[in-house]
Amino acid sequence: MPQVTVTKLVEGEAHVVIRLVLLADGSGNLRREVIFSPTDLVPPRKANRVTFRIMQIWYGMSGFDAEFGFNVISPEPAWTLARGTDSWVDFRLFGGLLQFPETPPEDVDGKLWLSTTGFITAGQTGSFVLELRKTNRP
């Protein structure tokens, strides 16, 4: 199983910044690997609704693509980061990337996941910094 390390860098009342580091071991791609949950916040939030918006993503990847999404029974990706593209995405102009801007489905649990494509060679690495804005107040 690839190594996935998530570190919370900063957490304030309205925002949290996390760093995600990936290291491939040759066993294959990540499939909807949960990287952040409402229970990871301080104070913990209930995992029964959307809990944060993605405001910005900084990234560097060695030859693979990454896809972020919010957890539901039938998950759909929220954003795809393709290899060879820019290393920063900014969603602040329109208030952040939220999977369900109107009314979320009842099966949402607020977890953020990551999937990869082409992350199959041992030694491949990737690093991400995500700024998240909290939406689910305790």
Cβ distance 130 to 54 under 8 Å? yes
Q: In terms of Cα–Cα distance, which of 80, 83, 66 is closest to 20?
A: 66
Better pLDDT: 78 or 55: 55
pLDDT at residue 56, rounded to an integer: 98
Mean pLDDT, rounded, of the chain: 88
pLDDT at residue 137, rounded to an integer: 66
Query: Cis link prior to 38 (omega < 30° from 0)?
Result: no
73 confidence band (pLDDT: 50, 70, 90): low
Tokens of 118: 């082409």
Cβ distance 67 to 114 under 8 Å? yes
pLDDT in tens, 11-61: 999 999 999 999 999 999 999 999 999 889 988 887 666 788 999 999 999
Determine the topology of domain 3-96+108-134 in CATH: Jelly Rolls (2.60.120)
pLDDT at residue 86, rounded to an integer: 82
